[in-house]
Amino acid sequence: MPFVGELKDRLWPLVKRGRLERDRLLGGNCVVLLYHRVIDLEHDPQLLSVSPRRFDEQLVLIKERYRVLSVEEFEHHLLNRKRFPKNSILITFDDGYADNHVHARPILEKHGLQALFFIASGYIGSGREYWWDELERLFLLNPQVPVQLDVEAGGVKVQWASLPGRELLRSHYEQLLVSLRALPSGTRDGLLGALRDRMSSPLARPSHLPMDHAALKAFASSPSVVIGAHTVGHPSLGQIGEDEQREEITRSKRDLEEWLGMPITRFAYPFGTPSDFTERTMQITREAGFLHAAANHPGIAHARSPHFAYQRLLVRDWGGAEFLRHLSPYLW
Ligand SMILES: [Zn+2]
């Protein structure tokens, strides 16, 4: 019945809009922005970077037009189910790239703004690139791809018998982004290690490193920075076993608390889409002693938002007008 499908397609945006209006009326509206990197990059297949110039421009705009909350103000509203101020904003960052300290922090400080940074603790001081960046280096930027390859771990196989062309490498990259996401961190790192050895690309790019311990410590001492956890090895929690989830969640908290000497009570699910965490993941996160956890699908935070799955809006390298256009459905 194509008519029913068509009707549903037409109605769905209206239903969504209606829910948004209802949430905003009852609970106020806060847009939680999600950034990853602030740096100029030539090659950024995941579109994770915002240039320092554009980040500065975006902060100027939100400061002028909206109410940017501190982490404490955000929590006060979320945890006490209080109505959020109209058109408020919270800035968050995921992962813990070194550029957060080098580029993002000084720009936040210049504007007197604060952001919540979720750190994948296993990468801090590792000298390794995050696993998706390593895949990019090995498959998309590698001048020395071997003629033959046969590597396998955790049911994921990468294999070819003659020198692969650019297109085949791109398709391996795309597939591995999906299949490695679902592996426990240890299994995935085993496979990556084997690929690194076989593909003659052992060195991490300095532009793609996570912070080291000293940088993280200096970073965390800024009034513009609040630290939260983001697992140890950045797997998709909803796709790994319960014990592995618990270990990822509790160890990242313990690592950061030990290094920084402060309680770590905020969490964000890696990737954060609805398939990357389950009800059980939310429960484990709560039991581990976190106060709230961030997801990653667009919407507003409001007084009745779930504490363990509040929504965030992913920000790309947008100029001012485009940035405001992406914010506009959530602000009034
Ligand atoms: Zn992440």
- Per-residue DSSP letters for 78-90? HHTTPPPPTTEEE
CA of 201 to the centre of ligand 1 (A): 24
CA of 230 to the centre of ligand 1 (A): 7
CA of 146 to the centre of ligand 1 (A): 30
Over residues 99-103, mean pLDDT: 98
pLDDT of residue 2 exceeding 70: no
CA of 231 to the centre of ligand 1 (A): 9
For residue 184, which of 251, 138, 92, 127 has the smallest C-alpha distance? Answer: 251
CA of 134 to the centre of ligand 1 (A): 14
pLDDT of residue 1 exceeding 70: no
Over residues 108-130, mean pLDDT: 98
| 136-156 residue pLDDT tens | 999 999 998 999 999 998 899
CA of 275 to the centre of ligand 1 (A): 14
Residue ranges covered by each domain of the chain = 28-126+212-330, 131-198
For residue 275, which of 210, 207, 178, 202 has the smallest C-alpha distance? Answer: 178
The pocket of ion ligand 1, defined by CB under 5 A, consists of: 94-95, 270
> For residues 260 and 49, what is the distance between their CA atoms, to the nearest angstrom?
26
Determine the topology of domain 28-126+212-330 in CATH. TIM Barrel (3.20.20)
Q: Which residues contact 329 (CB under 8 A, 6 or more apart)?
A: 20
Backbone torsion region of residue 155, taken as left when φ is above 0, otherwise alpha when ψ lies between -120 and 50, otherwise beta: left
CA of 48 to the centre of ligand 1 (A): 10
| 21-76 residue pLDDT tens | 999 988 999 999 999 999 999 999 999 999 999 999 999 999 999 999 999 999 99
Give the pair of three-digit tokens for residue 158: 């990468």
Q: What is the model's pLDDT at position 5?
A: 80
> For residues 235 and 184, what is the distance between their CA atoms, to the nearest angstrom?
6
| 297-307 residue pLDDT tens | 999 999 999 99
